[in-house]
Structure 1
Amino acid sequence: MFGRVQDVAALLGRVAIAVVFLAHGLQKWDMGIGGTADMVGAAGVPLPTVTALFLMAVEVLGSIAFIAGFALPVVGIGYAISGLGALFFVHLDAGLTGQGGYELVLVLGLAGLALGFNGGRLSLDHLIFGRRRAAAGKADAAWQNA
């Protein structure tokens, strides 16, 4: 019973985090690669075009994958990079709280990272890879008992 509650909580957390990243990613999508590159370049981010492509991919495609529970660790690391980049390049001078503070990007990035490695059983990753791990564990146990 408690495991099901944990899985539903992880799913709800993944959806909430992904919706926020998706909203920001769609804003970047609307600005296009050039507009997004100009924005991140003005913030002092190195390689602005590469960064723009990375952010758009993580925040749009990654968010769709995160909701479905696919490639969770990869997307979680992408969220952490995105959040920490925003923290250091855009929000750090404003402090933790208040106008322009970094509390939101810190929480979003690190919650995405945590859920990326603990996304629950209601995910495609569990459906695809969880069964393989379970089968491998049974094979190892059978081999050790032989």
Structure 2
Amino acid sequence: MSDFKLDSSPKMKSGFRTPESYFDTFSLKVIQQLPAKEQAVFILPRRKKLLWFAAAAAICIGLMVPVAKYFNNPVKQLDEATLESYLSYQTNLNQFDLINELDSSDVNHLNTNLSFEDKSVEDFLAANPNIENYIIE
């Protein structure tokens, strides 16, 4: 490929041309195309504008309060393990207080027969380091 030199090679002419004295009369043509009658501008009085902004802000705050309240207070479900550990570590609760709070439906629910295999009981006791607590209870 041969080198291209701007000064020595023949110049190509552009396919675009502007009419003569186009830029001299351009500003006059633009001014002539502008509308003669200006549009009336409706200006809100300052007091009305302030009222509109206050109403819009009140609506926004009114809509955002329930959303913010929902996201800041998520519903927490209480699982059995948490409840059991809470009750077991409370020093002011004893077995008799808990028994007094049970009603007949709770007692009937407790009367269900649970069958455990010896192997599962032995595995549980072997894995638990607090065997003395279970023996005392």
TM-score, length-scaled by structure 1? 0.19
Q: Give the number of the structure whose alpha-carbon radius of gyration is greater.
A: 2
| TM-score, L = length of structure 2 | 0.19
**Higher helix proportion (structure 1 or 2):** 1
